[in-house]
């Protein structure tokens, strides 16, 4: 297993906090082994570090109450949404209390005229969009998992349609957060834009629960498009597919999604879903707009793709056929896992400037093959972000070691290409070692200064993001 | 004149810093009265607070050298771009050194495939777009003034086409900044998206020179649209115009610009430019896309406008005619000033949720009329942001007092409507009193904590943004 550090536990403080909060929260306070382990994490290859208790909260005031008790006793507090973090964000490195926000999931106000919505952090993106259906509006950020929006904000999540609609960073107008002191801040007014003071909204978004616990979010919404078209096209090489992506975006085609599935993954899908796609890199696109607009866009893409040797171009606006065209992408995760039954799928997350994408992808595939790793790839290629799904026997230390070396090599390559080790999964524990390589010690010092200033006792999610372990 | 505070000056330190830096920078070091006064500010009704010296810098290393000297001597440092700040950001409240970035204006690298550009902070937006012309790309943020991009970043500027392309916040991929310690940080990789660590990019953007001096910017670029259409339409009332704006945006029409000119301003333009427009609220729009697309968009807007009683709808894609249609907007500032020759034009900057815009505008106009103020209005109405141009005799204390009371009333109204006192001009000195009203003392405490942590001596632009005056 990957090496992660157990930080010193404040046993007396933890005992006191549990004694205080247990009676207060009754059945919403839990110390059962299974629930605690599940709140450490379940989605990574990192060793589990379970919290000492899990509390299901219902209001900002309850969060404040827990934080004040934990501050008094110097006990760690870790925010938990849906548990879909991929980098060990939820592990309790020094023990402490996991605050589970899943029951704090009210949609407080839909402001349809303003195209925004005010929600509690435990609302999941699917629940939100299902609630919004009749308004003609939707929330666009889609990381795949049905994560909570609080968790998505805390990790700066994105997904397949960031190329059109942006990431969580571009889609949060403001938020409320409980600080380590127990105080609540509001980061921004509900106006569509603002130049009022330091941008505390963006400071909290992506801070992974280390600075504040998000208890309310105001999100930007978009109009549900009148029509959606899907298009797919196969390419001889990753290079040709990437050149086609660059040309498509430079042309100004308003793609809503542009995904790449690599040859290995196409083969996996063929076997998994009994399809018959050419086992070469496949691009999948979606356009959002008017019926005629999206049909034209798809056709224009077909012409661009042909210039780069694209074959088997297909496009449609009908929902059933769209789903069929996109099946290779929808089935990718499970089809990938089926390449090696019993193995665990561990995802990398580098993001590079699009001009370097072909090279990055080609080298990533070649290196995995050299190491005899089975590692299919899917990519949000419009943004330069792709995931290598490493299929690993996590009971085999030699394989873990090999995979870790691969991840290190991959992240270094991304950084050399002026890219990042994480496009959308965050740093957590898993990538802490790479952040300083990417941004340098001076930037890390600024982060540490902010962390110390806002959380002088280091009680909010300690041991994450490569921040110092003080307190 | 508006009341602003002179902070205590560190005379001995200032003298020592000047003695050290003068010989070092030779002719690029200036202490002339006129130049110093011009580097305080020239665009507000605030009293001028001139720096003690102005230094024209050419490199990050020079900025570091100045900052290190000023840190050693505890002397304030104020960054200066084009001097187009509207809220007294540039005033030297405790004296000190103004670093003029206007000669640090190289375009370092155009990455056309990645649609980004790396520049020094003294590049102006017009210079950048003129340099980019042959690449088919452009930088979209347009605040009117030909500001430097470093200044636009520092104040979180935007302008007429934020509704389509976003503000500076959405268009900066990363930056380099010199800290009060003299160290340089890089805030992000050049990737299109990132979840790597605290969002130091957004922390620096809009921090008004109080945390770091921006010495390099990586900006997102967009494709120059194949076609542009302009459309205008008159409305009986501000209410009808605003309802039309809401309907247009909800319909999903991809407006690039949507501006309102109020009845008083239309009258001003009629007289100034010898036009014959109906003296009622006027909407002006621009659409960017393909030739057929933008023509359809403009026509669709015409249909929506008709539903709200719009009259005199006109649209065109030809450049000369477009400029004619938009003349009322282009001439607004000078036409507005001509309403009261000799008066100074002072602009407000509130931004409210779009659902409250009609009410906010109507009340703002009515209140100005009650006070016998001549105060025409232009608005970036797609974002809910509008500017009341108060025409003031700044030599008349009674008028100043009245106008200040109006600004206070307007900002309070915006805050009550869940809006902000500043959509795009920033806080500076002029709006310091409103920031705490808008976000609350808890958020201000967080800002002060960050400021103290990063700038323990309070040498970077002290006395701004309502931050505490320590050090």
The secondary structure of B257-295, three-state, reads EEEEECHHHHHHHHHHHCCCCCCCCEEEEEEEECHHHHH
pLDDT, mean over chain A: 96
pLDDT at B1: 44
Q: Which conformational region is residue B313 in: left (phi greater than 0), alpha (psi within -120 to 50 degrees), or beta?
A: beta
Cβ distance A140 to A125 under 8 Å? no
Check if A183 contacts B (Cβ < 8 Å): yes
Q: What is the DSSP string of A234-255?
A: E-SSHHHHHHHHHHHHHHT--E
Supply the CATH number for residue A83's domain: 3.30.43.10
Match 């595939």 to its residue by tokens: A365
Are residue A86 and residue A120 in the same domain, yes or no?
Answer: no
The answer to whether residue B288 is domain-embedded is: yes
**Is residue A15 in some structural domain?**
yes
User: In this complex, which of A193, A196, A466 lies closest to B421 when CB atoms are compared?
Assistant: A196
Quote the pLDDT of residue B226. 92
- Which two structure tokens, joined as six digits, stand for B46? 């605030």
Listed by number, the residues of chain A in 197-256 with a beta carbon closer than 8 Å to a beta carbon of chain B are 197-203, 205-207, 211, 223, 225-226, 246, 249-252
Provide DSSP, A255-271: EEEEEEE-HHHHHHHHH
Sign of CA dihedral A272, A278, A283, A284: negative
Q: What percentage of residues in chain B have a pLDDT greater than 90?
A: 95
Q: Report pLDDT for A92.
A: 97
Flag whether residue A334 sits within 8 Å of chain B, measured between CB atoms: no
Which residues from B are below 8 Å from A466, CB to CB?
197
CA distance B239 to B365: 12
Pairing mode of beta strands B77-80, B97-100: parallel
Residue contact A197–B447, C-beta within 8 A: yes
Smallest CA–CA distance, residue A223 to chain B, in Å, is: 6
Task: Work out the burial of residue B355: count CB atoms within 10 Å of its CB; fewer than 13 is exposed, 13-18 middle, 19 or more buried.
Answer: buried
Give the span between the Cα atoms of B59 and B57, in whole angstroms: 6
Instruction: Please check whether residue B463 lies inside any domain of the structure.
Output: no
Q: Chain A: residue nearest B425 by CA?
A: A195
Helices (H), A146-197: 149-155, 162-165
Residue A315, token pair as written in the block? 């496009």
Residues B346-389: tens digit of each pLDDT: 999 999 999 999 999 999 999 999 999 999 999 999 999 999 99
Q: Are A442 and B184 a contacting pair at CB < 8 A?
A: yes
Say whether the ipTM exceeds 0.95. Answer: yes
Q: Please tell me the total count of domains within chain B.
A: 4
Same domain, B253 and B266: yes
Identify the pLDDT of residue B4.
85
Q: What are phi and psi of B124, to 5 degrees?
A: -90, 160
What average pLDDT score do residues B420-443 get?
96
Phi then psi for residue B455, to 5 deg, are -130, 70
Surface-to-core class of residue B131, CB atoms within 10 Å of its CB (0-12 exposed, 13-18 middle, 19+ buried): middle
> From the candidates B112, B156, B191, B426, which should be mutated to test the interface with A, based on the most A CB atoms within 10 A?
B191
Residue B466 lies in a domain: no
Length of chain B: 471
Whether A32 and chain B come into contact, CB under 8 Å, resolves to no
Question: To the nearest whole percent, how much of chain B has pLDDT over 70?
Answer: 99
Contact A190 B418 (CB under 8 A): yes
| Four-residue CA torsion sign, A366, A371, A374, A378 | negative
For residues A89 and A118, state if they share a domain. Answer: no
Task: Specify whether B167 is located in the same domain as B77.
Answer: no
Which residues does A61 contact at the CB level (< 8 Å), separation at least 6?
A: none
- pLDDT per residue over B57-90, tens digit each? 999 999 999 999 999 999 999 999 999 999 999 9
- Which residues from chain B sit within 8 angstroms of residue A197, using beta carbons? 206, 427, 435, 439, 443-444, 447, 465-466
The SS3 of residue A41 is coil
For residues A349 and A430, give the distance between their C-alpha atoms in angstroms, rounded to a whole number.
Answer: 11
Tokens describing residue A389: 């799904």
Task: Indicate whether A315 and A353 sit together in one domain.
Answer: no
In B143-226 the beta strands, taken as DSSP E runs, fall at 172-178, 184-186, 213-220, 222-223
The radius of gyration computed from the CA coordinates of chain A, to the nearest angstrom, equals 23
Is residue B429 within 8 Å of B27, Cβ to Cβ?
no
Please tell me the predicted confidence (pLDDT) of residue A37.
97
A14-51 tens-digit pLDDT: 999 999 999 999 999 999 999 999 999 878 889 999 99
Mean pLDDT taken over chain B: 96
8 Å CB contact of A422 and B194: yes
At A174-211, the pLDDT tens digits run 999 999 999 999 999 999 999 999 999 999 999 999 99
Handedness of CA B240, B242, B245, B247 (dihedral sign): negative
Nearest CA in chain B to A154: B195
How does DSSP classify residue A83? S
Say whether both B45 and B124 belong to one domain. Answer: no
Separation in Å, CA of A388 to nearest CA in chain B: 17
Please check whether residues B449 and B354 belong to one and the same domain: yes
Name the domain boundary from B223, B249, B278.
B223
Domain-embedded: residue B425: yes
* Tokens 């141009």 belong to residue: B389
C-beta neighbour count of A400 within 10 angstroms = 17
A471, pLDDT greater than 90: no
Residue A12 has pLDDT above 70, yes or no: yes
Q: At which residue do the structure tokens 């106006």 appear?
A: A191
Asked if A419 and B190 come within 8 Å (Cβ–Cβ), the reply is: yes
Long-range contact pairs involving B38-43 (C-beta distance under 8 Å, separation at least 24): B38/B83, B39/B78, B39/B80, B39/B83, B39/B90, B39/B92, B39/B98, B39/B100, B40/B90, B40/B91, B40/B92, B41/B83, B41/B85, B41/B88, B41/B89, B41/B90, B41/B91, B42/B83, B43/B83, B43/B84, B43/B85, B43/B86
Distance CA B431, CA B422 (A): 8
Q: Is residue B451 part of a domain?
A: yes
Indicate the pLDDT class of residue A1, thresholds 50, 70 and 90. very low
Chain A hits for B199, CB-CB cut-off 8 Å, are 156, 169, 199, 202-203, 205-207
Asked if residue B215 and residue B231 are part of one domain, the reply reads: no
Residue B375's CATH number: 3.30.70.2740
Judged by DSSP in three states, B181 sits in coil
**Last residue of one domain, picked from the residues B102, B132, B163:** B102
The average pLDDT across A285-312 equals: 95
- Asked which of A178, A204, A223 is the last residue of a domain, the reply is A223
Is the CA virtual torsion A328, A330, A331, A337 positive or negative? positive
- Point out the least confidently predicted range of A114-123, A213-222, A326-335, B61-70: A326-335
The residues facing A407 across adjacent strands are none
Closest-CA distance, A27 to chain B, in angstroms, reads: 32
Contact B459, B471 (CB under 8 A): yes
Same domain, A275 and A299: yes
pLDDT of residue A2: 54
CB atoms within 10 A of CB B23: 8
Range of the domain at B112: 107-223
Q: How far is CA A218 from CA A170, A190, A201, A421, B200, in A?
A: 12, 7, 10, 29, 22
pLDDT band for A252, please (50, 70, 90 cuts): confident
**Inter-chain contact B250–A415, Cβ cutoff 8 Å?**
no
> Mean pLDDT throughout A262-268?
97
Q: List the beta bridge partners of residue B387.
A: B378
Q: Treating both helix axes as pointing N-terminal to C-terminal, what angle do A432-439 and A397-416 enclose, rounded to 10 degrees?
A: 20
What is the dihedral sign for C-alpha A397, A399, A405, A408? negative
Q: Does B1 touch chain A (CB under 8 A)?
A: no
- Residue B468 in any domain: the answer is no
What number is the average pLDDT over the span A372-398? 96
Query: Sheet harboring B107-111: ordered strands across?
Result: B107-111, B116-119, B213-220, B172-178, B184-186
Q: For chain A, how many residues are written? A: 471
> What sign does the dihedral B224-B383-A216-B252 (CA atoms) show?
negative
Examine the domain organization and report whether A290 and A218 are in the same domain. Answer: no
Tokens standing for A216? 């309310």
* Yes or no, beta carbons of A424 and B353 under 8 Å apart: no
Q: Which residue of B has its CA nearest to A293?
A: B293
Q: Helix or strand or coil: residue B456?
A: coil
Structure tokens, B410? 């307007």
Report the C-alpha gap between A285 and A301 in whole angstroms: 9
Measured between CB atoms, does A352 come within 8 Å of chain B? yes
Q: Are strands B255-261 and B377-380 parallel, antiparallel or unpaired?
A: antiparallel
Question: Quick one: average pLDDT of A268-292?
Answer: 94
Q: Which residues of A touch B423 (CB under 8 A)?
A: 191, 193-195
CA dist B154 → B56, B126, B169 (Å): 18, 18, 10
Here the CATH number for the domain that contains residue A172 is 3.30.465.10
User: Are residue A371 and residue A430 in the same domain, yes or no?
Assistant: yes
DSSP B40: H
What residue in B sits closest to A183 (Cα-Cα)?
Answer: B442
* Residues of chain A positioned with their CB less than 8 A from the CB of B179: 442, 446
Sign of CA dihedral B23, B29, B32, B33: negative
pLDDT reported for residue B55: 98
What's residue A3's pLDDT? 67
Domain presence at residue A445: no
Residue A250 Rama label (left phi>0; alpha psi -120 to 50; beta): alpha
Are B219 and B231 in the same domain? no
Domain CATH code at residue A318: 3.30.70.2190
pLDDT band for A262, please (50, 70, 90 cuts): very high
């Amino acid at each position: 297993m990957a090496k992660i550090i157990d930080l010193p536990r404040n046993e007396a403080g933890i005992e006191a906090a549990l004694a205080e909060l247990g009676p207060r929260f009754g059945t919403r306070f839990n110390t059962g082994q299974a629930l605690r382990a599940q709140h450490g994490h379940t989605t990574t290859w990192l060793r589990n570090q379970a919290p000492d208790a899990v509390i299901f909260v219902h209001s900002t005031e309850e969060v404040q109450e827990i934080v004040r008790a934990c501050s008094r006793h110097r006990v760690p507090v870790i925010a938990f949404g849906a548990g879909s973090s991929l980098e060990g964000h939820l592990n309790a490195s020094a023990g402490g209390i996991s605050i589970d926000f899943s029951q704090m999931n009210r949609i407080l106000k839909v402001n349809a005229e303003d195209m925004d919505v005010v929600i509690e952090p435990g609302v999941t993106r699917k629940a939100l969009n299902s609630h919004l259906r009749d308004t003609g509006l939707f929330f666009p950020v889609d990381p795949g998992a049905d994560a909570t929006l609080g968790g998505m904000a805390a990790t700066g999540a994105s997904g397949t349609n960031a190329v059109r609609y942006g990431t969580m960073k571009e889609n949060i107008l403001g938020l409320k957060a409980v600080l380590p002191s127990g105080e609540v801040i509001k980061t921004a007014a509900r106006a569509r834009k603002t130049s009022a003071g330091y941008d505390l909204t963006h400071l909290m978004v992506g801070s992974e629960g280390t600075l504040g616990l998000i208890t309310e979010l105001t999100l930007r919404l978009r109009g549900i498009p009148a029509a959606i078209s899907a298009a797919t096209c196969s390419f001889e090489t990753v290079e040709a597919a990437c050149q086609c992506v660059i040309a498509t975006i430079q042309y100004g085609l308003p793609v809503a999604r542009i995904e790449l599935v690599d040859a290995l993954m196409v083969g996996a899908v063929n076997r998994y879903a009994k399809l018959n796609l050419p086992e070469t890199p496949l691009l999948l696109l979606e356009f959002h707009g008017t019926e005629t607009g999206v049909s034209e866009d798809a056709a224009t893409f077909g012409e661009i793709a042909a210039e780069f040797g694209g074959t088997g171009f297909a496009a449609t606006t009908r929902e059933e056929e769209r789903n069929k065209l996109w099946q290779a992408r929808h089935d990718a995760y499970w089809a990938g896992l089926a390449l090696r039954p019993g193995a665990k799928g561990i995802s990398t997350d580098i993001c590079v400037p699009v001009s370097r994408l072909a090279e990055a992808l080609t080298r990533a595939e070649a290196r995995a093959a050299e190491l005899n790793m089975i590692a299919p790839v899917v990519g949000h290629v419009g943004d330069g972000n792709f995931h290598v799904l490493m299929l690993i026997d996590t009971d085999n230390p030699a394989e873990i070691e090999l995979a870790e070396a691969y991840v290190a090599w991959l992240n270094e390559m991304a950084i050399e290409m002026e890219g990042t080790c994480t496009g959308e999964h965050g740093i957590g524990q898993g990538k802490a070692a790479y952040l300083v390589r990417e941004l340098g010690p001076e930037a890390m010092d600024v982060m540490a200064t902010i962390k110390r200033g806002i959380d002088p006792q280091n009680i909010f999610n300690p041991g994450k993001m490569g921040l110092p372990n003080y307190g």
